[in-house]
Amino acid sequence: MKFKLIGAAVAVLCLGMGAVTAQETPVAKREALMKGIGGSVAQLSGIAKGDKPFDAAVVKTALTTISTNIKAFPDLFPAGSEANSAAAPAIWENNTDFRAKAAKMGADADMVLASMPTDQAGVQKAMQTIGANCNACHQTYRLKK
Ligand code: HEC
């Protein structure tokens, strides 16, 4: 009887933890931020390639998401949170440089926002400025799956 109760309590606890893992862990939050960045870049590159018409509102929203998300991103790496993620150990070993790379992309996004692109060519240029940051960080700090 006692064991049964303990078993039930553990099961409830595990269910609770499952819910946390799905939405609120640092890993889920930071991956959601990166997904937002990826989606924004996809919108911008659609315009840059001419697949989509230039739309100032879409461009501004995408740039704002990129800026906001990359600024929040480096604060979501508490010690020990590399499990079940693509975060490389170098993030913790070299945190100052990791943060500097995030800050650089934030600054680049803000620079583009300050002189908003007004046409397809402007979006192409913005993509070059911002896009260079992705690989620069991923090659050191993101594990290949
Ligand atoms: C400062 C470093 C840094 C920069 C800059 C950066 N990323 Fe990332 N990115 C990461 C790390 C670290 C991960 C792995 C996160 C994890 O799994 O916990 C990641 C993961 C991702 C993911 C996968 C998210 C998921 O679903 O798990 C996408 C998509 C992504 N990045 C897109 C981009 C794009 C596009 C850019 C450039 C516009 C960019 N990133 C710039 C560090 C960076």
| 73-86 residue pLDDT tens | 999 999 999 999 99
Q: What is the pLDDT of residues 2-54, one digit of tens each?
A: 555 555 544 444 444 444 445 689 999 999 999 999 999 999 999 999 999 99
The answer, yes or no, to whether any atom of ligand 1 lies below 6 A from the CB of 77, is no
pLDDT tens digits, residue range 15-26?
Answer: 444 444 456 899
- Closest to 127 measured CA to CA, from 71, 86, 66: 66
d(CA 32, CA 50): 27
Alpha carbons within 13 angstroms on the beta-carbon side of residue 100 total: 6
Q: Which of 31, 111, 142 to mutate to test the pocket of ligand 1 (most atoms within 8 A of CB)?
A: 142
Take residue 94 and report the two structure tokens written for it. Answer: 């070299």
Query: Are the CB atoms for 50 and 22 separated by under 8 Å?
Result: no
